[in-house]
Amino acid sequence: MFLGGSFSGLLTDLYELTMAAGYVQNRFEALATFELFVRHLPNRRNYLVAAGLEQALDFLENVSFSSEDVAYLRALPSFRSVHSSFFDYLSRFQFAGDVWALPEGTIFFPGEPLLRVTAPIAEAQLVETGLLSILHFQTLIASKASRVTASAAGRPVVEFGSRRAHGMEAGVLAARAAFIGGCEGTSNTYAGRRFCIPVYGTQAHSWIMAHEDEADAFRDFLNVFPDESTLLVDTYDVHAAIEKIIALERKPGGVRLDSGDVLADSQWVRKRLDSAGLYDVKIFASGELDEERIEILLQSGARLDAFGVGTALSTSSDSPNIGVIYKLVEVDLGDTVRNAAKFSQEKITYPGRKQVFRFADKDRKFSGDVIGLDTESFPGSEPLLVPVMRAGKRIATADEGPLAVMKRGQSRHLSDRAHLPEGILLLRTAEPPFPVRYSERLEELRDQVRQAVVKAARI
Amino acid sequence: MFLGGSFSGLLTDLYELTMAAGYVQNRFEALATFELFVRHLPNRRNYLVAAGLEQALDFLENVSFSSEDVAYLRALPSFRSVHSSFFDYLSRFQFAGDVWALPEGTIFFPGEPLLRVTAPIAEAQLVETGLLSILHFQTLIASKASRVTASAAGRPVVEFGSRRAHGMEAGVLAARAAFIGGCEGTSNTYAGRRFCIPVYGTQAHSWIMAHEDEADAFRDFLNVFPDESTLLVDTYDVHAAIEKIIALERKPGGVRLDSGDVLADSQWVRKRLDSAGLYDVKIFASGELDEERIEILLQSGARLDAFGVGTALSTSSDSPNIGVIYKLVEVDLGDTVRNAAKFSQEKITYPGRKQVFRFADKDRKFSGDVIGLDTESFPGSEPLLVPVMRAGKRIATADEGPLAVMKRGQSRHLSDRAHLPEGILLLRTAEPPFPVRYSERLEELRDQVRQAVVKAARI
Q: What is the pLDDT of residues A128-153, one digit of tens each?
A: 999 999 999 999 999 999 999 999 99
Average model confidence (pLDDT) across chain A: 95
Domains and CATH numbers, chain B: 7-141+319-456 (3.20.140.10), 154-312 (3.20.20.70)
In sequence order, what are the residues at sequence separation of 6 or more whose Cβ sits closer than 8 angstroms to the Cβ of residue B427? B44, B147, B151, B291, B292, B295
Instruction: State yes or no: pLDDT of A342 exceeds 80.
Output: no
How many residue pairs bridge chain A and chain B with CB atoms within 8 Å of each other? 389
User: Is A98 in a helix, a strand, or coil?
Assistant: strand
Instruction: State yes or no: pLDDT of A289 exceeds 90.
Output: yes
> Inter-chain contact A163–B2, Cβ cutoff 8 Å?
no
pLDDT band at A4 (very low <50, low <70, confident <90, very high): low
> Inter-chain contact A169–B171, Cβ cutoff 8 Å?
no
pLDDT band at A345 (very low <50, low <70, confident <90, very high): low
For residue B291, what is the DSSP state? H
Instruction: State yes or no: pLDDT of A459 exceeds 60.
Output: no
Q: Give the pLDDT score at A346.
A: 57
For residue B137, give the chain A residue with the closest CA. Answer: A166
Identify the residue with better confidence: A397 or A356: A356
For residue A165, give the chain B residue with the closest CA. Answer: B133
For residue A315, give the chain B residue with the closest CA. Answer: B320
Residues (pLDDT < 50) of chain B are 1
So what's the ipTM on this one?
Answer: 0.97
Q: Does A216 touch chain B (CB under 8 A)?
A: no
Q: Which residues of A touch B56 (CB under 8 A)?
A: none
> Inter-chain contact B13–A201, Cβ cutoff 8 Å?
yes
Q: Give the pLDDT score at B303.
A: 98
The beta-carbon neighbor of A82 closest among B169, B200, B224 is B224
Q: Contact, A232 vs A205, CB < 8 A?
A: yes
For residue B102, what is the DSSP state? P
**pTM (2 d.p.):** 0.97
Q: Contact, B358 vs B385, CB < 8 A?
A: no
Shortest CA gap B355–chain A (Å): 21
Q: Contact, A241 vs A214, CB < 8 A?
A: yes
Q: For the stretch A26-49, what's the b/e string if a residue is b when 16 or more beta carbons lie within 10 angstroms of its beta carbon?
A: eebebbbbbbbbbeebbeebbbbb
Shortest CA gap B378–chain A (Å): 30
Q: Does B73 touch chain A (CB under 8 A)?
A: yes
Q: Contact, B210 vs A330, CB < 8 A?
A: no
The amino acid that residue B359 corresponds to is F
Rounded to an integer, the average pLDDT of A170-194 is 98
**Dihedral sign, CA of B401, B407, B410, B413?**
negative
Q: Which residues of B touch A165 (CB under 8 A)?
A: 133, 137, 166
Instruction: State yes or no: pLDDT of A2 exceeds 80.
Output: no
The beta-carbon neighbor of A212 closest among B10, B260, B456 is B456
Shortest CA gap B342–chain A (Å): 6
Determine the Cα–Cα distance for residues A97 and A339; give it in Å rounded to an integer: 19
Determine the Cα–Cα distance for residues B185 and A76; give it in Å rounded to an integer: 14
| A31, A158, A166, best to mutate vs chain B, most B CBs in 10 Å | A166
> Inter-chain contact A259–B345, Cβ cutoff 8 Å?
yes
Mind listing the pLDDT tens digit for each residue in A385-413?
Answer: 999 999 999 997 767 888 899 999 999 99
Q: What is the bridge-based pairing of β-strands B7-8 and A386-390?
A: unpaired
Shortest CA gap B328–chain A (Å): 6
For residue A210, give the chain B residue with the closest CA. Answer: B331
Q: Give the pLDDT score at A456.
A: 67
Full DSSP string of B364-383:
S-EEEEEEEETT---TT-EE
The beta-carbon neighbor of A19 closest among B12, B204, B456 is B204
Q: Which residues does residue A108 pair with via DSSP β-bridges, in sequence order? A: A48
> Inter-chain contact B192–A10, Cβ cutoff 8 Å?
yes
Mind listing the pLDDT tens digit for each residue in A76-128?
Answer: 999 999 999 999 999 999 999 999 999 999 999 999 999 999 999 999 999 99
> How far separated are the first and last CA of chain B, in Å rounded?
47
Rounded to an integer, the average pLDDT of A360-373 is 96
Radius of gyration in angstroms for the set of CA atoms belonging to chain A, rounded to a whole number: 26
The beta-carbon neighbor of A347 closest among B200, B229, B259 is B259
Residues 194-213, chain B, touching A (beta carbon < 8 A): 199-207, 209-210, 212-213
Residue B56 burial (10 A CB sphere; 0-12, 13-18, 19+): buried
Q: Give the pLDDT score at B74.
A: 97
